[in-house]
Amino acid sequence: MSGKFVYSAFFLGCKHLLRFLTFCQKNVTGDGQNDIEFDGDQLLHTDTFTHQPVQRLPEFGDEWIPDPGLAPDSWVNLGTCYYNIPRAIAGAKSPAENIEVKDTDQQLVETALCVCGVILGLIGVVTGLWFIVKANKSCQA
C-alpha cells in the first residue's frame, strides 16, 4: 500500500500550477519522496535520507534558492504520509456509508420564494399607505 498526497496552488491571474507531491510506501524505508513541480516540470525533490532539497537543474541554482525550512517540512510530510497509510487501509476495507441527498423540486422552491416576495411587498405597500394616511390626518387636526 502506498500513500500519495498532492497539494496544488494556482497563482492568481495566470494559469500556472505549482504542485507539492509527497509519496511513501508501507514497510519500505527510504522510499518516500517529496517533489515540487511547476507546470509539470520538476523543480526539485528532497533526498530520501538527508531530506535536503536536490534541484533538478543545478545550472539554475543561482537564480532560485529553496527555503531553508524545506528539509524539516519534508521530514514531517513523509512522517505524516507513513502515519496515514494504516488509516487509508482501514478506510479502504470498510468505507463510510454513502449519505443519500434527497433532491428537492426546484420549481416548488422558486414558486414559494416568489409568493413570499409578493406578500412581503404587499405588506410594505399597505404599511406605507397606512403611515401616509395617518400623517395626513395628524396634519389636518
Every domain of the chain and the residues it spans: 2-93
Sort strands 41-46 and 33-38 into parallel, antiparallel or unpaired.
antiparallel
Q: Are 7 and 20 in contact (CB under 8 A)?
A: yes
Each residue of 32-71: pLDDT tens digit?
A: 777 777 777 777 778 777 777 777 776 666 666 777 777 7
User: Could you tell me the fold of the domain covering 2-93?
Assistant: 3.10.320
Higher pLDDT pick, 28 / 118: 118
Sheet strand arrangement including 41-46: 2-10, 17-25, 33-38, 41-46, 53-55
Q: How confident is the model at residue 28 (pLDDT cuts 50, 70, 90)?
A: low
Q: Is the distance from CB of 8 to CB of 18 less than 8 angstroms?
A: yes
Paired sense of beta strands 17-25 and 41-46, if any? unpaired
CA distance 21 to 4: 7
pLDDT at 11 over 80: no
